Amino acid sequence: MKAPDGNKLAILNALNQGGFVSGQALGEKLGISRAAVSKHIKTLQEMGLDIFKVTGKGYCLNSQVGLLNKTQIDQHYKALGANTADVEVHPIIDSTNSELMRRIQAKTALESGTVIVAEMQQAGRGRRGRVWQSPFGANLYYSYFWRLDDGLQAAMGVSIAVGIAVYDAIKALYQIDVELKWPNDIYINKQKLAGVLVELDGQPQGPCQLVIGIGINLQMPESFSQHIDQAWTDLNQHTQKLDKNHLVASLTYHLEQRLVQYRQTGLQDMYEQWNSLNAFAGDYVELNTGHRSWRGICEGIDPQGGIRIRQDGEVKSYYGGEVSLRKAQV
């Protein structure tokens, strides 16, 4: 899908102010004809944006989530008692995680805490090579850069801490209790709301650099939902108070709090909370590595972040890698 050009982004920004904007006013502002405005609007609608027209009033963006705005993100972030957030806003990108990983590989100077968010991803990625559906303006595509000095082994449980940070942010803003699925999914009522993808670069014993990717469904268009191969939900189905910029600020703030805690004490003070939010607690599950699979009762995680499964009366812990956990058929 072609990226939106400057005129399309200008139209979006005008519509994002709220209310109706006439095609004539948009054309005069951009120096283009009303027919050209109509053509740009049609392209934006094809990208998944819900823009409607009322004769005599003009165009209106029907969106609960709005568009990303760095100034608004900073205002919300400062209201939480923090300094200015180091956030980059991109209209469109291949993948927020890929962009940060490229900078790491190119040895570009990066400050720990750098955030990249985008309105749309053209090559969004989930775990195990899956595609993350990323329509324009509909969901949150977010990546956070973090440097950890204790080696790759110390990063093993980071996705657990990140899941709790997502819980913190959503609970604080919307009073919604999400559930967590090992190792890195966020559910509401057994339906997937969000996913985490942590990628690492570094040496086993030396400093390592982490890219923490978080994708949250906010207002998923029906035209894209048909490509999702599991039960899903979005925040728009559970709250009417969505504000994408407020969510970016809250997520960044709570992620930073949890990463500080993780650096100091690992999962020692978090794993029991994670277990209280375990989406599969007590369920009969199947753990699959692609080469082997195990079935048993899900007993939550251990203090190192491994999943504990009870098989024939014995509980064993299993750790990361290319694994999937799902509810098993009895």
Q: Sign of torsion, CA 91 94 100 106?
A: negative
317: number of CA atoms within 13 Å, CB side? 9
- Which stretches within the chain are classed as H helix? 6-15, 23-30, 34-46, 70-79, 96-105, 158-174, 222-225, 244-265, 271-276
Would residue 316 show up in a list of annotated catalytic residues for this protein?
Answer: no
Q: From the candidates 8, 192, 244, 258, which is the catalytic residue?
A: 192
The dihedral region occupied by 236, where left means phi > 0, alpha psi between -120 and 50, and beta the remainder, is alpha
Would residue 125 show up in a list of annotated catalytic residues for this protein?
Answer: no
Distance from C-alpha of 17 to C-alpha of 122, rounded to nearest angstrom: 26
Q: From the candidates 127, 181, 244, 258, which is the catalytic residue?
A: 127
Distance from C-alpha of 294 to C-alpha of 313, rounded to nearest angstrom: 14
Distance from C-alpha of 3 to C-alpha of 122, rounded to nearest angstrom: 9
Would residue 326 show up in a list of annotated catalytic residues for this protein?
Answer: yes
Neighbouring residues of 172: CB distance < 8 A, sequence distance ≥ 6: 250, 254
Long-range CB contacts for residues 192-197, cutoff 8 Å, separation at least 24: 192/217, 192/230, 192/231, 192/232, 192/233, 193/217, 193/232, 193/233, 193/234, 193/235, 194/166, 195/126, 195/127, 195/132, 196/159, 196/162, 196/163, 196/166, 197/97, 197/125, 197/126, 197/127
Q: From the candidates 53, 57, 190, 326, which is the catalytic residue?
A: 326
* Active-site residue list: 127, 192, 326
